Chains A and B, each alone.
Chain A
Amino acid sequence: MPNWVDVGSVADIERDGRLVVRVNGREVGVVTDGKGVLRGIRNRCPHHGGPLCLGRVGERVGGDPGVYELTGRWTLRCPWHGWEFDLETGLCLDEPTLRTAVYPVRVEDGRVLLGA
């Protein structure tokens, strides 16, 4: 069982779009994916160490040559070089040798709890 840590209120995330907190000595962010699901992800890009959680959340685009299709997969794009990370798995989709930590998140009485 993870140790659930209270990292802020849902209202904070609704207001700021994200939360960035320090948990067990590491910076962790909580962001909302396009379906309204809260995702916890480490605030450090494994590429060059950029503040990953300050990046943009979006839906990954796929498709055959010449065709653009939404994939239903929500990603976070590092604000430094734009590399794209899967919010569910932490995997860097464009460089699969890289992955960052993801954390379970749940909401209780308007509070955001991060499983660390």
Chain B
Amino acid sequence: MIDCDIHPQVADPEELISYIDPAQREWFRAQGPSLGLPGYSWVHPSSWFRQDIDQNGHPPASDVDTVRRELLDPSGTDAGVLNGDDAVLVSLMPSPYRAAELARAHNEWLRERWLDAEPRLRASILCPAQDPQAAAAEIRRVAGDERFVQVLLCGGADRPYGEPRYLPIFEAAAESGLPVAIHSGGEGMGIAAPPGGAGPVTFYIEWHTLGSACSTMSHLVSLLCHGTFERLPSLKVLLIEGGIAWLPGMLWRLDTNWRALRSEVPWLDRKPSEVAREHVRFSTQPLEHTDGRDETLFEMLEAAGAPDNLVFASDYPHWDFDDPGFMLNRLPDAWRAKVLHENAADLYGARLALPADA
């Protein structure tokens, strides 16, 4: 089993600050526990995290032992990809300079505190997307360490990622043989546009329903329309935690519009849905809940490329995580091997190969 979305937590801000350049430590320390990262307008009324995890007085999943004991060992996970949690919001900080430094520090923290400690773990490269040149430089700096298996961007952005100014990020990833993962989150925070397309929302429940899905759709449609995959034929994009039940409708709509509006994007010489099938992957969590109509959902998803475009993600240790065992039972028999293992193994290639003794 390969888990494409595990969120390591920072036990103590000082732990991350120790990786920050001394000339910037005072600034980051002065920002308090957020380290200057933009935050939510709400606090989850019970908790952002699963409440059953033994925390030893720290946030859950803030040390390798806990992740081994709570997730990797019991689920039989062969490889798990660490995606920065709040830290992915570096891209939404007003200062691209602070963002670049925090991203760099977080990448080093992942390397030393997590990857060196557990051979089953892999990680995503954080980068300051608001400064694409700096982001590309950070990707190239870190990509040499093959335990980093992808680049991570957040769903929140001031414009969708197909915009040409973001191209250096995708070029650096493609050159390094890395997929780019876009993880929902951050919509409406810092310099990001509001979630949903109709202005700021009132409740966390609205944000959690709309933000993740809407930003994911926006980035997908933008990347397809701008011809990002025509420019970079080896590029793969993984969309994490944005849902997927909307995908068939969105692709059909895009294909239909393309037939009538192709002159706007004349570089698209085949149906966008075909390009999406080849280049875009989706994570399972949160696989939409269907009130017992899973068969209908799976049939719809097959029309949009599933199970070949689906990879498993637990979102551990968040409150809305998917238990690996539960997901194993929910998936159709014919999907299981592909979704739980094979598709992610294809996506990450040699970087996922585990040490012989693992």
Contacts and interface: CB of A to CB of B under 8 A. Distances in A.
Interface in B204-250: 226-228, 230-231
Interface residues of A, number: 16
A22 interface: no
B267 A94 contact: no
Contacts of A60: 263, 266
A9 B227 CA distance: 45
Contact of A82 (B231, B260, B267, B269): B260
B267 A64 contact: yes
A25 interface: no
A61 B259 contact: no
Interface in A56-91: 60-69, 81-84
B261 A65 contact: no
A65 B228 contact: yes
A95 interface: yes
B76 interface: no
Contacts, number: 41
A64 B261 contact: no
A63 B259 contact: no
A64 B259 contact: no
Contacts of A62: 266-267, 269
B316 interface: no
Contact of B164 (A63, A64, A66, A94): A66
B260 A83 contact: yes
B258 interface: yes
B267 A66 contact: yes
A65 B259 contact: no
Interface residues of B, number: 15
A61 B164 contact: no
A82 B226 contact: no
A64 B229 CA distance: 11
A91 B66 CA distance: 61
Question: Which of A65, A81, A84 has the most chain B CB atoms closer than 10 A to its own CB?
Answer: A65
Contact of A81 (B226, B230, B259): B259
B262 interface: yes
A47 to B, nearest CB: 8
A69 B269 CA distance: 13
Nearest to A68: B266
Contact of B262 (A65, A67, A94): A94
A66 B166 CA distance: 14
Nearest to A66: B164
A82 B261 contact: yes
B266 A94 contact: no
Contacts of B262: 84, 94
A69 B266 CA distance: 9
B227 A81 contact: no
A110 B331 CA distance: 70
Nearest to B265: A65
Contacts of A69: 266
B258 A65 contact: no
B267 A63 contact: yes
B269 to A, nearest CB: 8
B278 to A, nearest CB: 16
A94 B259 contact: yes
Nearest to B260: A82
Interface string A27-48: 0000000000000000000000
B267 A67 contact: yes
A65 B260 contact: no
Nearest to A81: B260
A22 to B, nearest CB: 28
5 contacts: A63-B267, A65-B231, A66-B164, A66-B267, A82-B261
In the A-B complex, the 3 residue pairs with the closest CB atoms:
A65-B227, A82-B260, A94-B259
Given A83-B259, A83-B260, 17 more contacts: A60-B263, A61-B263, A61-B266, A62-B266, A62-B269, A63-B266, A64-B227, A65-B228, A65-B230, A65-B267, A66-B164, A81-B260, A82-B259, A82-B261, A94-B258, A94-B260, A95-B259
